[in-house]
Amino acid sequence: MTIEVSKIAQGVEPSATLAMSAKAKELKAQGETVYNLSVGEPDFNTPEHICAAAAAAIAAGHTRYTVASGLPKLKEAVCADYLKRFGLEYKPTQCVVSNGAKHALHNAFFATLNPGDEVVLPAPYWVSYAELIKLSGAKPVVVETSQETGFKLTPDAFRAAITPKTRALLLCNPSNPTGACYSKEELEALAKVVVENDLFVVADEIYERLVYGGREFTSFPTLFDGLQDRTILINGVSKTYAMTGWRIGWSLTPENVAKKISSLQSQETSNPCSISQYASIAALEGDQSCVETMKVEFEKRRNYVTSRIAAIPGLSAPQMDGAFYAFMNIKAFLGRQYGGVQVDTSKDWCLELLQQKKVATVMGSAFGCEGYARVSFAASMETLETAFDRIAEFVK
Ligand code: PMP
Ligand code: GLU
């Protein structure tokens, strides 16, 4: 007998970022040298003092269930961090700690969206947003943005996408996959539309500590009083502290929403790993110089990748102001043959680049934007150098 999978499960696509990374790892396991610019995760080790806090937590016997919504001390550390850096006042009862920001997003959508609700989703968008919104029964309403405007949502395009069913805007700032970073003025213009239409915002700010060129990051709810009540703020330790495998992220929301997210989480997963939670307290409360050190290194790589893209005729990318991705326009390289293989789409291009040159990237189509390919520059300088030599050879 074949167990038939559910209608909901039938509609779920695997994460393309993780799928491309798995392909790269598969080739590596076969003995190939692969230059993996697919998945976005810092290549640095988690700083030592954070690992030491985890070891100490194990030694102290902190290996049991914690409060399902997270350790009170970690919630306090999250709130203290927001107060210190942004002047935002959140109570620990507004914070739920989950198994990564991805899980925090899933919980937030489940706790707030009803079937038929619409969420405005600017494209290109990070692969998981559309799937997670659909899983909650709601509908992502994709609004295209263009390279000419730096892939940023404009108030007019936002307004045009709003219908009586619209509940929320998903705003990823700085953006995965484009590296776009909104200015305070740009955010204010969008926030005005949010208020005029009585919407809320899911503000994914997981890359907020990684902004370049001396830019100042503006956190969405700091724009004006009252906006905190309309914001679901998402963040975590994965990118800031090179802690992708520890699986800790959180949401900061109005209290009624946090309460429901807690209930959901208590039923579906219970607490995120106790040891990772202790490590995250050390990350937030400990010496922050590791964050700056990693950022300086990312900025060097971003400048290097910018120059390599500019040096390949036909290739371009918008300016990367934040995060660690370059969203390369590959339109000039589609509709032709590579080693006898016809390449028409971004998916074809990325698969052939991996097959023929062993460089792993992610197709723009996975981010809702055909004609592009995303590279992550959270990779060593040596990897980036060879990968771009090979990309240059590939498109020649
Ligand atoms: N949001 C964005 C924009 C991301 O790129 C990622 C990367 N994984 C996440 C959320 C989820 O991060 P994590 O689950 O590792 O905390
Ligand atoms: N956010 C990262 C990326 O976009 C990690 C993979 C994932 O969770 O999708 O590559």
Kindly compute the dihedral angle of the four CA atoms of residues 45, 50, 54, 56, in this order, to the nearest 10 degrees.
130
Q: Which atom number of ligand 2 is nearest to the Cα of residue 102? A: 8
Give yes or no for residue 206 CB within 6 A of ligand 1: yes
Identify the nearest ligand to the CA of 15 by its number.
Answer: 2
Q: Which atom number of ligand 2 is nearest to the Cα of residue 16? A: 9
Neighbours of 128 (CB within 10 A): 19
Q: Which residues of the chain have pLDDT under 70?
A: none
Per-residue model confidence (pLDDT) at position 255: 98
Q: What are the structure tokens assigned to 262, written together?
A: 């807690």
For 194, the enclosing helix (H) or strand (E) is helix 184-196
> Cβ contacts of residue 330 below 8 Å, gap of 6+?
315, 346, 349, 364, 371, 372, 373, 395
Specify burial of residue 312 (Cβ count, 10 A radius: 0-12, 13-18, 19+): middle
> Cβ contacts of residue 101 below 8 Å, gap of 6+?
204, 206, 234, 235, 236, 238, 249, 250
Q: Which atom number of ligand 2 is nearest to the Cα of residue 376? A: 10
Identify the nearest ligand to the CA of 238 by its number.
Answer: 1
Give yes or no for residue 102 CB within 6 A of ligand 1: yes
**Residue 389: CA count within 13 A, CB half-sphere:** 7
Rounded-to-integer distance, Cα 173 and Cα 208, Å? 7
Residue nearest to atom 5 of ligand 2 (CA): 40
Mutate to test the pocket of ligand 2, among 12, 25, 39 (most ligand atoms within 8 A of CB): 39
Per-residue model confidence (pLDDT) at position 192: 98
Per-residue model confidence (pLDDT) at position 47: 98
Closest to 220 in 3D by CA, of 203, 237, 206: 203
Closest to 350 in 3D by CA, of 339, 362, 341, 342: 362
